[in-house]
Amino acid sequence: MSRPKGEFPIMTMTTAIPAAAADGPPKRRRTPILQILFGDLLAAGLTVMTGALVLALLPALRWGVLDAVWSTADPGRCGAGGACWAFVAAKIRFILFGVYPADEQWRPLAVIGLVLAMVLVSLPPRHWGRRLLTAWGVAIGAMLALMWGGFAGLPFVSTANWGGLPVTLLLAILSLGMGFPIAVTLALGRRSKVPVPRFLSVLVIETIRGMPLVGLLFISSIMMPLLLPAGWSVDKLGRTLAALTIFAAAYLAEVIRGGLQGVPGGQMEAARALGIPVWKAVWHVVLPQAIQKVIPPLTNTAIVMVKNTSLVLIVGVFDMLSAARTAASDPVWPAPYSESYLFVGAVYFLICFAISLYARWLEGRVQDKDLR
């Protein structure tokens, strides 16, 4: 239908309501990109400034990509002004598995695969439940058994020879997993109406949260042999795990306390009115609601703990970061420390960023649920 411009009959003006108007408010006019970038003096200044910042980072791109040596068997070719990724490629097994016997390295690889599989299975919230928890218990047992060996023809490998990514992953999972029940106890204790458990919980939580993790690692690695009777010996990995567990428990406890505070008091009162004993009410009514509320902040604590496992380097546990540092000190290669740390940083980034994306997705789901 064609009509000369400016000759709209009045009739059509009233009947033909534009389709868009029925859907909602008119669309906002988009500001042209040039006006955003150079619209006023401030915007122009910011554009020039960020542009300069990006330009200043270009040499890093040249170092890391264009001039980099990607693969070579000859270490001498590295070190000519570019990054030496060939080093990471050559040492990848050492960085990922440490000094684990070379013929047995399929075992730590299988552990990494098992962790990945379990994480993938645990992602959808509809899988959460007692069965998944049991599966995790079995899987962790299988991982530790695989690492140790000493059965079914697998040679025994002591924890002194464990290293690399499996140690990082195991420390993170075990410290969170064992810290969680302790954290629930501490959080319930802190919310208790009677003084003794409340005082003890506050004492433990605040002392540990007031201390740097490095201090706690010092205590566990130096003091634990003194604190325990002469016959009991815990190896270095176990002592570090103890420190990380206590640390995780104190931080998780505060998160869980937040969830407990968010459960309305009426829930407990209703349960009591139905004749349910206090402890059963806590276990079946209050705790499930509290933990559900704090799942997003719990994932945050998980990220913090994954990052914190890298601190074990300070007390000499051979995690991925120590392995990379040791690898870089090989005199054959021209000191590729920056490349090693960039690689390790990238692995940590992948793990932590994935967790934070998952947390964001979960949070969105929770909000959708609340709206309904």
Question: At which residue do the structure tokens 């004749």 appear?
Answer: 275
Q: Is 112 a residue that touches other proteins (CB under 8 A)?
A: no
Nearer of residues 9 and 195 to other proteins, judged by Cβ: 195
Residue among 77, 105, 145, 218 that touches other proteins (CB under 8 A): 218
168 half-sphere exposure, CB direction, 13 A CA radius: 27
Cβ atoms of 227 and 221 within 8 Å: the answer is: no
Report the C-alpha dihedral over residues 156, 160, 162, 165, rounded to 10 degrees: 170
Around Cβ 313, how many Cβ atoms within 10 Å? 17
Residue among 222, 261, 288, 329 that touches other proteins (CB under 8 A): 222
Which pair of tokens denotes residue 5?
């411009």
Q: Which of 287, 254, 253 is nearest to 183 (CA)?
A: 253
Residue among 9, 26, 195, 331 that touches other proteins (CB under 8 A): 195
Distance CA 123, CA 235 (A): 33
Residue among 94, 97, 333, 348 that touches other proteins (CB under 8 A): 348
Cβ atoms of 78 and 84 within 8 Å: the answer is: yes
Q: Is 262 a residue that touches other proteins (CB under 8 A)?
A: no
Cβ atoms of 205 and 164 within 8 Å: the answer is: no
CB of 200 to other proteins, least distance (A): 6
H/E run at residue 291: helix 287-293
Cβ atoms of 285 and 276 within 8 Å: the answer is: yes
CB of 57 to other proteins, least distance (A): 10
Phi/psi of residue 355, nearest 5 degrees: -60, -40
How far, rounded to the nearest angstrom, does the alpha carbon of residue 85 sit from its chain's CA centroid?
26
CB of 153 to other proteins, least distance (A): 38
- Residue span 30-69 as binding mask against other proteins, x where in contact by CB under 8 A, dash where not: ---x--xx-----x--xx--xx-xx---------------
CB of 318 to other proteins, least distance (A): 15
Interface region with other proteins, contact rule CB under 8 A, candidates 114-122, 158-166, 221-229, 290-298: 221-229
Nearer of residues 295 and 335 to other proteins, judged by Cβ: 335
Q: What is the DSSP string of 98-115?
A: TTS-GGGTHHHHHHHHHH
Q: Is 270 a residue that touches other proteins (CB under 8 A)?
A: no
Residue among 69, 78, 186, 311 that touches other proteins (CB under 8 A): 311
CB of 10 to other proteins, least distance (A): 37
190 half-sphere exposure, CB direction, 13 A CA radius: 23
Distance CA 245, CA 179 (A): 5
Nearer of residues 127 and 209 to other proteins, judged by Cβ: 209
Interface region with other proteins, contact rule CB under 8 A, candidates 8-16, 159-167, 269-277, 332-340: 332-340
Which pair of tokens denotes residue 254?
């505060």
Q: Is 342 a residue that touches other proteins (CB under 8 A)?
A: yes
CB of 149 to other proteins, least distance (A): 30
Nearer of residues 287 and 359 to other proteins, judged by Cβ: 359
Q: Give the list of residues 6+ apart from residue 200 with CB closer than 8 angstroms, or none.
A: 189
Q: Is 210 a residue that touches other proteins (CB under 8 A)?
A: yes
Judge residue 258's burial from the number of C-beta atoms within 10 Å of its C-beta, 0-12 exposed, 13-18 middle, 19 or more buried. middle
Taking every pair of Cα atoms in the chain, the longest distance, rounded to a whole number of angstroms, is 102
Binding residues for other proteins restricted to 85-104, rule: CB under 8 A: none
Where on the chain is the footprint of other proteins (CB under 8 A)?
33, 36-37, 43, 46-47, 50-51, 53-54, 194-197, 200, 207, 210-215, 218-219, 222-223, 225-230, 303, 307-308, 310-311, 313-314, 321, 325, 335, 337-338, 341-342, 344-345, 348-349, 352-353, 356
